[in-house]
Every structure is written in C-alpha cells, then in structure tokens.
Amino acid sequence: MAAAWLGNFKMLEPFRPLFLSAAAIALFVAWPCIYRPAVACKAGEVCAAPRVRSVYKAPFWGVAALIGASTISPYVLPLFY
C-alpha cells in the first residue's frame, strides 16, 4: 500500500521515448568527458587527476545500467507474470 502512488507515473508513459532519448544523449555527451585521455587535460584540471577520473566511471556505468534496464523492462517484465 505504501507504493500505491507509483501508479501515478503511468501518465508519463507516452513521454518514455523522449526521456530515454534524452538519457542516451546525456550518456553520449558524458562519455568523452570521462574517458578522454589524460593527455588531453591540462595540468591542474580536475580531469587530469586519475583518482577523480576513476570515481566518475562507477556512477557513469551505474546510470548506464539503470537506463539499459528501463529500456528493456517493458519487454522483459511480461515474461514474469
């Protein structure tokens, strides 16, 4: 009963392709910022620090996994019920 409010998100279903497209574009833009060679970064910039670069990679792949799961969920979930 506590999660009954989740049914209100059904009205956003027509905008799902728009949201997924925006998320894919955001990942596409973020990829070169995170994975560009450290040589491309100037000394003293945040992207030049290897520790910072590795810290950004974990959330990037976590978000990419969530976007991937939300992309395939309407096709996979009916197989379970």
Residues 6+ apart with CB under 8 A from 63: 23, 27
> Backbone dihedral region of 44: left (phi > 0), alpha (psi from -120 to 50 degrees) or beta?
left
Higher model confidence: residue 2 or residue 69?
Answer: 69
H-helix segments, 1-81 = 16-35, 50-76
Q: What is the mean pLDDT of the chain?
A: 82
Longest dimension (CA), the chain: 55
Q: Indicate the pTM of the whole model.
A: 0.72
Tell me the per-residue pLDDT of 18-46, one tens digit each, with 9 for 90 and over: 999 999 999 999 998 888 776 667 777 76
- The label of the residue with tokens 């996994």 reads 65
Instruction: Tell whether the model's pLDDT for residue 50 goes beyond 70.
Output: no
